[in-house]
């Protein structure tokens, strides 16, 4: 693989454009006087450029959520915003899921990220972590909220930023705390890793190394760290609010949040079973591996198992039809997930007599 080919990879133009926009944003940040308007206009322009006419699908829930937050009492704000966002997102998934064009896919991704922001903001208000200053004028109160919901640095990606942190940075008089040098180093590291993966995958005798997605030997640890922003959001919105079977409910909600397509439902529920088996089996295996050699064997074997299960889940999630899903289920690739499921069943059956 030629290193110049990195510039024509599907994601390379978006990364390059994002870096250029980050440099422009860093330069203009301390020059503009009204940063809320700057971020709001930038978000609207970015949404229109990336999704075209589908940007209206993002502006409708943004307007609705802002009106709900300004008109509903804090005790009911989270329920109303959650119902509005998930209803709208489910409708958009049903309408746009059969289309494969880039604007629709980008619009769906932006709506999913927007749901995280809107519901987290409503939960902050519900729990009293953020107080709306109702004594201010309507414009002074609505502009920061609308700017937060649509500000462009995190509109199409990036970690979830709380409203209090966003407001503190927007009203900060100095320069941005992060430098372009750090952003450039991260960009170069990402390109280097992409090139290394391409070299390994295109070697003469090399297998497909793209499934080597994690360095941990614990599937549960990978689940918590692969997307920290989404993981923290799901933990707060779902896991901590359901005392009965919180892990299963969290994964079921994740399947709903991703669109409830056949492959996604199967992959996410399979993921839930694998994580539950991981939580229950590793304490036993870790106690069994006492010597240094056994620990090395235990970590190496479980690391390989984790890679294979992650690859299996990713293939299942990307599956679009029942026929392809049935082929995956009946293939030899299902042996390891079935073994994990059987292990979980045996551990549950062994635990019940002790509890009785």
Query: Do 36 and 162 lie in a common domain?
Result: yes
Query: Do 150 and 240 lie in a common domain?
Result: no
Query: Pick from 170, 196, 231: which residue ends a domain?
Result: 170
Query: Do 162 and 43 lie in a common domain?
Result: yes
CB 107 within 8 A of CB 153: no
| Residue 25 phi, psi dihedral angles, 5° rounding | -60, -40
- The number of domains in the chain is 2
Clarify whether 333 is annotated catalytic.
no
Query: Do 218 and 149 lie in a common domain?
Result: no
Tell me if 13 is assigned to some domain.
no
What are the residues whose beta carbons fall under 8 Å from the beta carbon of 155, sequence distance 6 or more? Answer: 43, 46, 47, 110, 113, 114
Query: Do 139 and 50 lie in a common domain?
Result: yes
Averaged over 183-203, what is the pLDDT?
61
What tokens were used for 353? 């007599």
CB 133 within 8 A of CB 141: yes
CB 58 within 8 A of CB 104: no
pLDDT-based confidence at residue 81 (cuts at 50, 70, 90) = very high
Query: Do 321 and 218 lie in a common domain?
Result: yes
Query: Pick from 112, 145, 170: which residue ends a domain?
Result: 170
pLDDT at 322 over 90: no
Tell me if 203 is assigned to some domain.
no
Tell me if 204 is assigned to some domain.
no
pLDDT-based confidence at residue 199 (cuts at 50, 70, 90) = low
Query: Do 166 and 226 lie in a common domain?
Result: no
Tallying the residues shown for the chain, one arrives at: 356
Query: Do 110 and 245 lie in a common domain?
Result: no
Query: Do 141 and 273 lie in a common domain?
Result: no
Averaged over 19-25, what is the pLDDT?
67
Query: Do 144 and 224 lie in a common domain?
Result: no
Tell me if 198 is assigned to some domain.
no
CB 121 within 8 A of CB 130: yes
Distance CA 85, CA 116 (A): 9
pLDDT-based confidence at residue 10 (cuts at 50, 70, 90) = very low
Distance CA 237, CA 216 (A): 26
Tell me if 187 is assigned to some domain.
no
Most confident segment among 31-40, 156-165, 248-257: 248-257
Averaged over 277-283, what is the pLDDT?
82
Tell me if 231 is assigned to some domain.
yes
Tell me if 53 is assigned to some domain.
yes
Tell me if 250 is assigned to some domain.
yes
The pLDDT score that the predictor gives to residue 17 is 61
Clarify whether 227 is annotated catalytic.
yes
Q: Which of 84-88, 160-164, 190-194 has the lowest mean pLDDT?
A: 190-194
Distance CA 68, CA 277 (A): 41
Distance CA 295, CA 94 (A): 48
pTM score of the predicted model:
0.74
The pLDDT score that the predictor gives to residue 324 is 86
Averaged over 91-96, what is the pLDDT?
86
Q: Which of 93, 126, 217, 258 is catalytic?
A: 258
Tens digits of per-residue pLDDT, 46-59? 888 878 888 898 88
Distance CA 164, CA 153 (A): 16
Residue span of the structural domain in which 266 resides: 212-355
Query: Do 161 and 89 lie in a common domain?
Result: yes
Distances in whole angstroms, Cα of residue 38 to Cα of each of 34, 67, 106, 144, 234: 6, 21, 22, 11, 30
Q: Which of 93, 227, 282, 333 is catalytic?
A: 227
Query: Do 55 and 139 lie in a common domain?
Result: yes
Query: Pick from 170, 190, 221: which residue ends a domain?
Result: 170
């Amino acid at each position: 693989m030629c290193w110049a080919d990195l510039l024509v990879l599907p994601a390379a133009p978006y990364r390059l454009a994002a870096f250029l926009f980050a440099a422009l944003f860093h330069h203009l940040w301390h020059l503009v006087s009204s940063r809320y308007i700057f971020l709001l206009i930038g978000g609207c322009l970015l949404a229109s450029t990336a999704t075209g006419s589908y940007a209206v699908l993002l502006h409708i829930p943004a307007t609705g959520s802002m009106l709900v937050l300004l008109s509903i009492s804090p005790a009911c704000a989270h329920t109303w915003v959650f119902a509005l966002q998930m209803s709208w997102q489910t409708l958009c998934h049903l309408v746009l899921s059969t289309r494969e064009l880039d604007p629709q896919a980008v619009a769906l991704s932006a709506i999913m990220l927007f749901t995280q922001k809107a519901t987290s903001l409503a939960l902050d208000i519900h729990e009293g972590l953020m107080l709306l200053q109702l004594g201010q004028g309507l414009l002074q109160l609505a502009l920061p909220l609308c700017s937060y919901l649509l500000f462009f640095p995190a509109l199409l990606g990036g970690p979830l930023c709380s409203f209090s942190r966003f407001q503190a940075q927007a009203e900060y008089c100095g320069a941005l705390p992060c430098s372009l040098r750090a952003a450039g180093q991260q960009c170069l590291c990402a390109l280097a890793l992409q090139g290394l993966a391409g070299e390994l995958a295109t070697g003469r005798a090399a297998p497909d190394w793209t499934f080597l997605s994690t360095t941990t030997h614990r599937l549960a640890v990978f689940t918590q760290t692969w997307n920290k922003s989404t993981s923290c959001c799901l933990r707060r919105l779902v896991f901590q609010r359901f005392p009965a079977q919180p892990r299963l409910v969290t994964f079921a909600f994740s399947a709903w949040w991703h669109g409830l397509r056949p492959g996604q439902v199967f992959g996410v529920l399979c993921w839930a079973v694998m994580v539950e088996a991981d939580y229950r089996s590793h304490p036993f295996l870790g106690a069994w591996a006492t010597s240094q050699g056994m620990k090395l064997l235990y970590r190496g074997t479980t690391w390989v198992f984790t890679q294979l299960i992650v690859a299996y889940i990713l293939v299942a999630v990307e599956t679009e039809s029942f026929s392809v899903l049935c082929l995956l289920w009946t293939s030899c690739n299902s042996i390891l997930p079935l073994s994990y499921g059987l292990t979980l069943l045996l551990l549950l059956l062994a635990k019940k007599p002790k509890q009785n």
